[in-house]
Amino acid sequence: MSAMTTSTGATAPAASSSVPSLTSVFVHLKLSLLRNGLKQSGGRTAVYIVSIVFGVLFAAAMVLGFVLLRGSADAATIAVLLTGVVALSWAVMPLFVPGGDETLDPSRLVMLPLTPRPLVRALFVASLVGVGPVLTLFLAFGAALSVAHGAAATVAAVFAVPLTVAVCVALSRALAAANIRLLTSRKGRDLAMLSGLVIAVGMQAVNFGAQRLSRPGGLAALEPAAAVVDWLPPAAAIGAVDAAGDGEYAAAAARLLLTAAALAALVYWWQRSLVRLMVEPDGSTIGASPGGDAREKSAGTGLLSRILPGGRTGAVMERSLRYMWRDPKTKAAWVSSLAIGLIVPLANAFQGAGSIYWACFASGMLGLLMYNQFGQDTSAFWMVAQTLSTTADAYAELRARALALLLVTLPYATFVTVLTTAVLGDWARLAEGLGLAFALLGAMLATGAVVSALFPYSIPQDSGYKNVAPGQTGLAWISIFGGMLAAPLLCAPVIGATIYLHLSDQDSLLWLLLPAGTLYGALLVWAGLKVAAPRTASRLPEILAAVSKG
Amino acid sequence: MPDQAFEGKFDKAGAAPGEGAAPAVRVEGLWKRFGQQIAVSGIDLVLPAGRFIGLVGPNGAGKTTTLSMITGLLRPDQGRIQVAGHDVWADPESVARVKARIGILPEGLRLFERLSGRELLAYSGRLRGLPGAEVDKRATQLLDVLDLAGSQHKLVVDYSTGMRKKIGLAAALLHNPEVLFLDEPFEGVDPVSAQTIRGVLERYTSSGATVVFSSHVMELVESLCDWVAVMAAGQIRAQGPLAEVRGDAPSLQAAFLELVGANGREAAGDSLDWLGGGGNGGGGAR
């Protein structure tokens, strides 16, 4: 670093008249990046504008909400806790958008002759530019507004609002810099892939929590939490405004000082991490060094290969099963299918509005996993294509993939149906529920195999949210919705038989639906594979081209 | 420039294949268009068996497209391709025979990267219908020879570029193919891994097998290959034994630049007169 310092020192006097400060350079860089993000494509511009409009509306609604909250007994609790939640989301944001902010990526700055202190100052100011900080500013403003009563509180708010925003941004940056090795490593990127799932589950939790809290007196449950968060920066700054309004000037000052100290500590931590990062390798290098961990294993490929059949069937099943756990995209798809397949029937059953037929929802969700089989392979499908040449090969390949799916989905669909029945206490209808679930699962696997062959599309591997490559959205919709419409139609005989038996009051024969549905489902899978196999075999180059765009 | 015919030009190394022997690859009138752009425009190519063959050309010449069509990964618009005497794009039986006889290492396509190196080999060997025990035996030897034994249980996604190329090569060799197609096998590979790959390939061709690889590193092609085909702008500019294609030029590099018409670009540096020479030219001085 010292050599770099001297070189900057030497150039500075000569150029000081024309060279802008580092901070303004970074702020301009940030603004250019924001602008260029707009220019990239029409669709993206539209999305950006829509998100800005929504952001503005959201900010306005938030401030309005806080104004309405003014005077309410729970105002302080809500303001403090919301600030805490926002700070928490700033803390986890680097995980969701790793390397999302190019101006702040230290590895891009490592070649420039920069000293740590001006660098951190410039980066910090630049990172205050953006949609996120502006929204946070609105929130902090609203939160302060809801609790600011009196002149002292207003004075406290003048300090508290900018401090809150600054602490949020510094927290996010410091955490990202300290964990950059995790975030840039494969494991970190894998985690980011699952972040979409975390958001989905988090929304359910928020939904559930909101329902609980909206009951009379529900907010009282939050008071102990608020009492703690009240002293945690940056929420402590909002707490200071409240305290100042209540005349507790010492507590208010202490909270403000605490927040300022936290800001200083975070910036210092960030600066130290940056200095260290400039001279250390990033995570990607460490993972790739050879001979890192050479755990000795037996020459065979483990337990799975001993249980599964040999040849293509076993190899394909083994690979599919491994990918369920190891591939973040596949894992995310599985976890969401399994979770939604369980939650929807059970939630309905618990609310008393349920019926055994909701258990078929699990079959539908799990059957979706058969869709776009080759897209799930990404362009590595060439390895499969190289070994497929006849219809018989393609049939074996598709059958093995269906079998791997069945290994998990069949027990799971059974489990969900039994559990739903148990919650409903309607054991008499278990047999027909199972029969329908199996028939639908079979229909989904059958249609899945066919659309996998006819409408393959790429799944981008670098994004946790996008599941269709640009330009193939139409294909994906045809494939998924066509299949989801076709599957119930294919099940029509079983559904028809169920309705007939109920209408004609032949309840004693309803158990027949279990063997009939199972058999019919198996027949559908077989037929689906037979239809899909020749189409797969003859379309290998086209499938490879379609799945190689991600 | 007309394509050079290959008949009767097996003088190099003396070991010409028998007159009746099928060439490793025979391509006739091969075309491929992507929208407006013509990637491969009607090439004819005959690659003799048992040689180390280099397919050279600048970026965008159509090398990858050609290799993809020859190996059955990309459907040609027009033309006929035979590999080891079997038509690549005819009936399924013929295609099956071709696929069983070739190994490929494509560029820019993924592997099943969430498998470990050993699992990847086990998987691809079993897909090819080899018995499990045999696959495991060959995998162990290949991993040893390619210096991957220490990383065999690591996921391929964590491999470096050189390790990826080596595991790809191992997967391509596992079923002992007659013809091996490698697209830029040395691109981004460190010298140690490159030497390992080279050693394996030389051993493989010395047993009578054919290697066809694409590259734009002329020194490499010159030192490895005994037969070259030069491609530019979707056409074959020359093909034949190395010595013949090189002709009177001092090196393959010079002959290549001549063939693709890239000579006379040296003057492009005139406008950079401030560059170098003590830095007396402008703002960056101190």
Taken in order of first residue, the domains within chain B and their CATH numbers are 25-260 (3.40.50.300)
Establish if A358 belongs to a structural domain: yes
Instruction: Please tell me whether residues A273 and A340 are part of one structural domain.
Output: no
Judge: B71–A386 Cβ closer than 8 Å, yes or no: yes
Chain B residue numbers touching A376 (CB-CB < 8 A): none
C-alpha dihedral, A425 to A427 to A431 to A436, nearest 10°: -10
Establish if A301 belongs to a structural domain: no
pLDDT of residue A8: 39
Mean pLDDT (chain A) is 81
Instruction: Please tell me whether residues A408 and A524 are part of one structural domain.
Output: yes
User: Residue B144 is encoded by which pair of tokens?
Assistant: 């040893």
Establish if A168 belongs to a structural domain: yes
The pLDDT-based confidence of A373 (bands split at 50, 70, 90) is very high
Is 80 exceeded by the pLDDT of residue A54? yes
Which segment of A75-79, A392-396, A400-404 scores lowest on mean pLDDT?
A75-79
* 3-state SS assignment for residue A451: helix
Helix residue spans in A294-429 (DSSP H): 303-307, 311-326, 328-350, 360-367, 373-376, 381-385, 391-424
Rounded CA gap, B266 and A250, in Å? 76
Higher pLDDT pick, A538 / A33: A538
With CA atoms as reference, the chain B residue closest to A12 would be B286
Q: Is A35 touching B (CB cutoff 8 A)?
A: no
**Chain segment B184-221, per-residue pLDDT in tens:** 999 888 889 899 999 999 999 999 999 999 998 888 89
Most distant CA pair in chain A, distance: 98
The pLDDT-based confidence of B264 (bands split at 50, 70, 90) is low
Rounded CA gap, A507 and A69, in Å? 58
The minimal CB distance from A294 to the residues B104, B124, B150 is found for: B150
Establish if A213 belongs to a structural domain: yes
First to last CA, chain B: 53
**Residues spanned by the domain of A59:** 24-280
3-state helix, strand, coil in chain B (%, to 5): 35, 20, 40
Rounded CA gap, A112 and A106, in Å? 10
Instruction: Please tell me whether residues A318 and A256 are part of one structural domain.
Output: no
Establish if A7 belongs to a structural domain: no
Rounded CA gap, A274 and A356, in Å? 57
Instruction: Please tell me whether residues A207 and A347 are part of one structural domain.
Output: no
Instruction: Please tell me whether residues A264 and A311 are part of one structural domain.
Output: no
The minimal CB distance from A386 to the residues B104, B119, B158 is found for: B104
**Chain segment B98-117, per-residue pLDDT in tens:** 999 999 999 888 899 899 99
Higher pLDDT pick, B271 / B256: B256
Rounded CA gap, B111 and B153, in Å? 15
For residue A369, give the DSSP letter: G
A234 preceded by a cis bond (ω within 30 of 0): yes
End residue of a domain, out of A238, A261, A280: A280
Calculate mean pLDDT across residues A109-121: 78
pLDDT of residue A465: 62
Rounded CA gap, A226 and A83, in Å? 10
Residues 6+ apart with CB under 8 A from A359: A345, A413, A416, A417, A420, A421, A433, A437
Instruction: Please tell me whether residues A209 and A327 are part of one structural domain.
Output: no
The minimal CB distance from A315 to the residues B110, B123, B155 is found for: B123
Instruction: Please tell me whether residues A184 and A327 are part of one structural domain.
Output: no
Closest CA to B234 of B59, B99, B6, B116: B59
Instruction: Please tell me whether residues A257 and A390 are part of one structural domain.
Output: no
Establish if A446 belongs to a structural domain: yes
Establish if A18 belongs to a structural domain: no
Q: Domains in chain A: how many in total?
A: 2
Establish if A302 belongs to a structural domain: no
Instruction: Please tell me whether residues A171 and A250 are part of one structural domain.
Output: yes
Instruction: Please tell me whether residues A135 and A232 are part of one structural domain.
Output: yes
**Chain segment A245-279, per-residue pLDDT in tens:** 888 888 888 888 999 999 999 999 888 888 887 77
Specify which residues B240 forms β-bridges with: B228
In chain A, positions 297-326, which contact chain B (CB-CB < 8 Å)?
297, 299-301, 305, 310-312, 314-316, 318-319, 322-323, 326
Instruction: Please tell me whether residues A207 and A322 are part of one structural domain.
Output: no
User: Residue A514 is encoded by which pair of tokens?
Assistant: 């279990």
pLDDT of residue A326: 87
Q: Which value does ipTM take for this structure?
A: 0.85
Instruction: Please tell me whether residues A478 and A396 are part of one structural domain.
Output: yes
pLDDT of residue B8: 38
- CB contact at 8 A, A147 and A242: yes
Cut 0.80: pTM above it = no
